[in-house]
Amino acid sequence: MTTTTKTVLVTGATGTIGRHLVGELLARGHRVRALTRSPDKAELPTEVELVAGDLAAPPPAGLFDGVDSVFLFPAPGVTGFLQAGVPHLVLLSSLAAALEHERDRGSASQVHHAAIEDAVRGTAASWTILRPGTFATNLLTWAPPIRFTGGVRGPFPTSAQAPIHEADIAAVAAVALTEPGHAGRHYPLTGPESLTRVEQLGAIGAAIGRELHFTESTPEEFRAEMRSYGVGDDIVSMLLRYWSDTVETPDAVRPAVAQLTGKPARTLAEWARDHAADFA
Ligand SMILES: NC(=O)c1ccc[n+]([C@@H]2O[C@H](COP(=O)([O-])OP(=O)(O)OC[C@H]3O[C@@H](n4cnc5c(N)ncnc54)[C@H](OP(=O)(O)O)[C@@H]3O)[C@@H](O)[C@H]2O)c1
């Protein structure tokens, strides 16, 4: 815990990670300025200073005045928002940008986040880049089939990933935004354990007290189903390559959450309990 009060500009403050981050910063006694396209719908704590603005446009005049650090959400078109003289900047990026796996080369996530990382490293005098792997919140796509059918259908049930709780990404961001020693660092972030997709479903079932069934489908069936929902082929291909790869080589678990926050990363069981209402 730092003793110096900072003023932090949070973009993406109304999002899943951003809301946790705002809460974390206020609880630590810091001041928060939040940029949002819709201040009237933001529903953030009253002590937050709201500023109307769009990350795809140049920043509103005075946005950075008195600000010690900035949490940058990787919105499309955000590179035009960056300008010389921004204070210490903490970017939400993705593990895909690290290009640790051949499967990531040219993927939608790798291309998008790598371009923003380059812009940040080229513009900000001081920066920290957070590279989370798969979010536990991606599992919320399972909520409708769980509620209505008691299970899910999908390919690669034995592939294993290490989903990260959104509150842990926010907790790491809060440290990097307000404490010294994190400039020029890239932090890969994951959950604390690699679990098969069947085990992930089991964690959700345990949280809501139901036995849930995983029905295997083929990659082609999954692609057709996603197409019918309007999900882009690039996203579907990225998912299929990820799951296929992590059958033989489960996601590696990274230590940065515990190292930076001083607390173990939250388990998927904990995430599922936090989100039980979404699935019940
Ligand atoms: N899903 C994964 O597995 C994964 C893995 C690695 C990285 N990521 C990254 O994490 C992001 C998702 O984070 P999240 O779940 O916290 O997001 P989220 O809940 O979807 O929230 C999006 C936030 O971004 C803000 N925003 C979007 N476009 C904006 C714009 N043009 N101008 C100003 N604000 C804008 C929104 O603010 P307003 O609507 O209030 O303006 C909102 O606060 C992904 O987009 C991806 O870049 C995801």
CA 91 to chain centre: 11
Is the residue at 216 inside a domain? no
**Distance between CA 210 and CA 201 in Å, rounded?**
10
| Residue 65 CA, ligand 1 centroid: distance in Å | 24
Distance 12 CA to ligand 1 centre (A): 6
Tokens 């259908």 sit on residue: 153
Q: How far apart are the first and last CA of the chain?
A: 36
Name beta bridge partners: 7: 31
Helix 166-178, helix 16-27: angle, nearest 10: 50
**111-166, pLDDT tens digit by residue?**
999 999 999 999 999 999 999 999 999 999 999 999 999 999 999 999 999 999 99
φ, ψ for residue 266, nearest 5 deg: -70, 140
For residue 73, the CA-to-ligand 1 centroid distance in Å is 6
% of the chain with per-residue pLDDT over 90? 96
Cβ atoms < 10 Å from Cβ of 12: 22
Give the distance (Å) from ligand 1 centre to CA of residue 74.
7
Q: Which residue has the tokens 């400039």?
A: 183
Helical segments of the chain, H only = 16-27, 108-123, 143-149, 166-178, 197-208, 219-228, 233-248, 256-261, 268-274, 276-279
CA distances (Å), origin 154, targets 27, 129, 159, 202: 40, 32, 11, 15
Question: E-assigned strands of 53-144?
Answer: 69-72, 88-92, 127-132
Q: Does 25 fall in a domain?
A: yes
For residue 124, what are the domain limits?
7-132+165-189+253-265
d(CA 69, CA 173): 11
| Weakest mean pLDDT among 1-10, 52-61, 85-94, 236-245 | 1-10
**Total domains present in the chain:** 1
Q: What is the DSSP letter of 267?
A: P
Evaluate whether residue 258 is within a structural domain: yes
Q: What share of the chain is helix, strand, coil (3-state, %, to 5)?
A: 45, 20, 40
Average predicted confidence (pLDDT) for the chain: 96
Neighbours of 277 (CB within 10 A): 9
Residues 204 and 193: their CA atoms lie apart, in Å, by 15
Q: Are 169 and 120 in contact (CB under 8 A)?
A: no
pLDDT class of 3 with cuts at 50, 70, 90: low
Say whether pLDDT at 2 is over 90.
no
Tokens for 192? 């604390």
DSSP state of 229: T
Above 80 in pLDDT, residue 1?
no
How far away, in angstroms, is 13 Cα from ligand 1 center? 9
Cut 0.95: pTM above it? yes
User: Is 35 within a domain?
Assistant: yes
Q: Tell me whether residue 115 is in a domain.
A: yes
Mutate to test the pocket of ligand 1, among 37, 73, 243, 254 (most ligand atoms within 8 A of CB): 73
Pocket of ligand 1 (CB under 6 A): 11-18, 36-38, 42, 54-56, 73-75, 92, 94, 132, 134-135, 137-138
Q: Domain holding 75: CATH number? A: 3.40.50.720
The 10 Å Cβ neighbour count of residue 25 is: 25
CA of 181 from ligand 1 middle (Å) equals: 26
Give a yes or no: residue 147 inside a domain.
no
- Whether residue 111 lies inside any domain: the answer is yes
- Closest ligand 1 atom to residue 113 Cα is 47
In a domain, 57, yes or no: yes
Nearest CA to ligand 1 atom 21: 15
